Amino acid sequence: MVQAYILIQTEVGKATAVAQSISEIPGVLQAEDVTGPYDVIVRAEAETVDDLGRLVVAKVQQVEGITRTLTCPVVHL
């Protein structure tokens, strides 16, 4: 399994709705609204890096209210 943190910026006032919508997507382990330069932080997992990319592009980025995402894969060194 490949896991990643997805850092999300949203339109003003949309963080809670975005986090709620994303938390219902299969493969999303956790979605929380936060303060700081990002509005929502998501932890997600998929079988492969390609599957993770498809999850981000085809599902997460399609949620209304998102303006930008940054995907940070988890590495085990």
pLDDT tens, residue by residue, 6-56: 999 999 999 999 999 999 999 999 999 999 999 999 999 999 999 999 999
pLDDT score of 20: 98
pLDDT tens, residue by residue, 56-70: 999 999 999 999 999
The residue assigned the tokens 């399609």 is 62
- Residue 3's DSSP bridge partners are 45
pLDDT score of 38: 98
pLDDT score of 48: 95
DSSP H or E stretch at residue 50: helix 49-54
> What is the pTM for the complete model shown?
0.94
pLDDT score of 49: 94
